[in-house]
Amino acid sequence: MTAAFASEPSDFDHDANPMLYSRHSRPFDKSIYGWADRSVQWVYAQPLDKNPFLDPTGANCAVGQEGPVWFLAPIASMMAGNFTRACTIPRDKAIFLMIGFVSDTYPCPDPNFGPKPGQSLYDFLVADSKTYMMMTSLDVTLDGRPVRDALDYHYISENVFSVKGDPSLQSTFDSCITGSWQPDLTNGYFMMFRPLSPGMHTIVRKTVGMTGMTNTFTYYLTIQ
């Protein structure tokens, strides 16, 4: 059986999910929290016609990718169902799976959207994000091998960070986008897979929301 991930000398800790970087590790000198925020900045920076989040096939999966980590965006869907995406990824790239997230940008057109007197912007955005981030079940597999305790891979930004959204996304993705740098907070589920061995691999992510809506995303990955 071919190994699903290429060996490397970084923080391998022989935990229950050796295909992943540890939840509290700092791969490439950045925490998983930091990479989560960076992945959201990446999604926001891409224009509507090339945005990987809004691409149903994976044709745009390489847009804006740079550095040692390759971001795998969620597949935009407002309905239950099974969705697939194909992507070719260079070898030796860690793969950052953006399972599902809330990006709470500020300010918004709603004049009532803001901290209460004495409340910090961070605490306000955390509380607001929790009203949207609802997931009762999460299953993730790599080449049929399950990730254990997948719901534990939940991250909330450690601090408010800045995001600059492409203006073309304002009407379809986030109405709060200003086109300039603005405060943001991420609340979501993320996993960073260690570099995969060359060849074909499959990541499957299945979620069940509070309303019972089930989504299954299948990523067909070619590592070259």
DSSP string, 65-80: --SSEEEE-----SS-
What is the structure's pLDDT at 80? 87
- Report the percentage of the chain scoring pLDDT > 90: 81
Torsion of CA 91, 144, 189, 33, to 10 degrees: -40
State pTM to two decimals: 0.90
Q: What are phi and psi of 85, to 5 degrees?
A: -150, 140
Torsion of CA 153, 154, 159, 162, to 10 degrees: 90
pLDDT, tens digit only, all 224 positions of the chain: 322 333 333 344 446 899 999 999 999 999 999 999 999 999 999 999 999 999 989 999 999 999 999 999 998 877 889 999 999 999 999 999 999 999 999 999 898 999 999 999 999 999 999 998 678 899 999 999 999 999 999 999 999 999 999 999 999 899 999 999 999 999 999 999 999 999 999 999 999 987 888 999 999 999 99
What is the structure's pLDDT at 6? 32
